[in-house]
């Protein structure tokens, strides 16, 4: 049984709730345990994972959040830099499932976040568990 940390950005509470529900259900269905920490937005997710990884208390991580395109370049910065930070951590060997949505609008985000639709939170948890299993195979 692995201990998985879910790091969720709560910038859009209603979307975060759906992503979190999907991730928790997937982890529990696989027989693992989880804890959740909350950060303000997607840019803070990689930093929180890095801090938690230093403790050695978690075997895997799930990154959750939503970035919706707005009228400024800020969307690209948040989307790209949060993904870059997560990718850097995975390249360092951390099993992370990236469930940070990057969408054009809220309607797209709802479809992706909703566990009854595309369930990207659950998919991110499954990806983290798959990478954890792969790490065990190679480790």
CA atoms within 13 A of residue 22's CA, in its CB half-sphere: 30
Count of beta carbons in the 10 Å neighbourhood of residue 22: 28
Q: Is 42 annotated as a binding residue?
A: yes
Burial of 136 (0-12, 13-18, 19+ CB in 10 A): exposed
Nearest to 22 by CA among 119, 96, 130: 119
Q: Is 43 annotated as a binding residue?
A: yes
Active-site residue (options: 14, 32, 34, 74) = 74
To the question of whether residue 80 is assigned a binding role by annotation, the answer is no
pLDDT of residue 127: 98
- Of the candidates 13, 91, 86, 96, the one whose C-alpha atom is nearest the C-alpha of residue 45 is 86
Say if residue 68 carries a ligand binding annotation. yes
Q: What is the pLDDT of residue 139?
A: 77
Is there a catalytic annotation at residue 32?
no
- Per-residue HEC secondary structure of 106-129 comes to HHHHHHHHCCCCCCHHHHHHHHHH
pLDDT tens over the chain, length 139 residues: 999 999 999 999 999 999 999 999 999 999 999 999 999 999 999 999 999 999 999 999 999 999 999 998 999 999 999 999 999 999 999 999 999 999 999 999 999 999 999 999 999 999 999 999 999 999 7
- Which domains, and CATH codes, for the chain? 3-138 (3.40.50.960)
């Amino acid at each position: 049984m692995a201990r998985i940390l879910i790091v969720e950005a709560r910038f859009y509470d209603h979307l975060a709730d759906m992503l979190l529900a999907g991730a928790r259900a997937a982890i529990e269905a696989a027989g693992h345990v989880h804890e959740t920490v909350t950060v303000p937005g997607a840019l803070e997710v990689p930093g929180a994972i890095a801090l938690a990884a230093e403790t050695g208390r978690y075997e895997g991580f799930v990154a959750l959040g939503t970035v919706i395109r707005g009228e400024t370049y800020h969307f690209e910065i948040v989307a790209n830099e949060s993904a870059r930070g997560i990718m850097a951590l995975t390249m360092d060997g951390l099993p992370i499932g990236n469930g940070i949505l990057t969408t054009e609008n809220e309607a797209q985000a709802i479809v992706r976040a909703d566990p009854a639709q595309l369930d990207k939170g659950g998919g991110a948890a499954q990806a983290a568990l798959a990478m954890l299993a792969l790490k065990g195979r190679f480790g």
